[in-house]
Structure 1
């Protein structure tokens, strides 16, 4: 009963946050911007419909997962409305699409355990999806990671993450510790080749952020499946070797590293984005300058790569820390669900999806704060991006389904 009350309290706070953000946006203009009010009401209606459907037809799963996703989506749509109304409307449409995908996956998958047998399908889909961007060869901000068909653009790696996790879960499910190197090799050589293939495709696309995410997913899943630290050490060694080779083979990689090491002296060579992001965060301070009172137009790619810097500038570091806590709770609830199920495929799938979200957050926020090189990936559920939104809600549906099994 206490858990149910906590769920309802969190949902009420989500409504309050939505109303507060969009009301604030509406009074920034004179006369009052009623479109912001209408958008806030639409978002509230969508939240209500989602919660009613989940609680009526899937009452046994973890309701915090969908509520956390809705909180992050509300913040994202509100900030995008502040930056660009057209982009915010598109994001709202993708949010609706994400909810539809979420419900559809829940309906289509009666029991995730039955899907472990489709390992070859997951493998084929990963092999097909990962090199698609290379074949299209459409360069954006120095990386070749987009495909545009009929005016519609998407990132294949966003969907490749899902098939990659499902393949590794199906492959590592069969692992048995026989304390024999040869036997281990027989069980792990195919997953190892698939991981190297995926990373090679991403490095060739110059998509360093996605490469870090895929590496984090593989490392986490391999360690959980085998329980052997030596494989973690081997993975790190291979990653260091691959990074060294990429640094010397691709000028784009070298440029990113040089900018990261000293962005202040590289403002004319790519460091401007990092420098402006750091200025924005510092000018906002702990409590922010206020919604609509910052200067987000000075930030390049502010609707995707640097949206976290915009949030920190206008809403403050405290608000930014709150967002990071929600992501941590997202990861925690996912891992909690993983250790409450007995089926190994379900467990590994949940761990992979949770690691995917955590790694993506760490990579983009780490890049914004110049802890690691800044890479062009989205902040999950907040940054503008349709393929990212759809893939995240698909992953969320998997987590929701497994939480029901537990």
Structure 2
């Protein structure tokens, strides 16, 4: 692994071999002859296993032998022969790159490996959510039609759980992502001024992430402003229309997705233009929940122990919280409960408030796990959401961000 001070670190071939070994351990556990892995917008498993991002990437890994990288975009084969492609030749993880119709490629590679009649694992078919997965229904029908003798076994969740504990190299890459997020948070704070547009703030943050060689997780930063401002996506861009201009009394909040080499960190920035009693109450409650989460995070405790400590501060402040206060990242597999302390509140009278959405599951924290802390405190539809990236270490919790862990007041 390159030293942490390296400005543009890259996972090594040793890390590649470790990731492939994890896949092969899952093959042994389920008596599989191979695995075919698909990526999605939110979880680029193809990049994680291939070490490069190509359009429509699919990674096929046999129990023994070298993996293959497949794509339905023929032009990707030529990318290995231009100037950049030649310079990266020694860093490529997979030599066997094949292009063509993906269902036929999958069938071909399985026949080549003589596993076209065996049990083969698939990553990307499902997920923790009923809406998880990155394989279109029509594509899967064509794949199964092209491989009639294959018994497909979905190991998406098993693989995601295996990724929860980060290797030493991945921890350094995650720290690097969070460092980019810290720089992006500073740019957000500088750009968020009365008279600026939401689009000005958005562009400044994304430019900073890109300038430092990072990338955002799809579909991009979540950003919303107003008075009151609830958390959510932008109302312009794809839908068209004018990006709002920031005004005195407004707040602007963002969920920044600063990523490096496929490792996602999150920063929850919040700026209030002129403070008041309600803002101070919300900011204090969100900060108290964040601190409670940090204090509770250590190896051996349950995920539920962490979010219960954070929720206790929300309830004690008589505010409510809509998003998960903590979630796993890279992969985004587990979320804490949502819509906590929202039911039966006078400040939400007349709004369509659902019941508490339960957590996606529970598990024991281990050193090397990565999380996004994102406690939100709300009164009515006015929200303060803060938080940043954390790592579980042998000694407890390593906080990787500072600016995003408090609400900031900017005088108009």
Same fold (TM over 0.5): no
Please, what TM-score do these two structures have when normalized by structure 1? 0.26
Q: Radius of gyration: which is bigger?
A: 2
Which is richer in strand?
2
- The structure carrying a bigger helix percent of its residues is 1
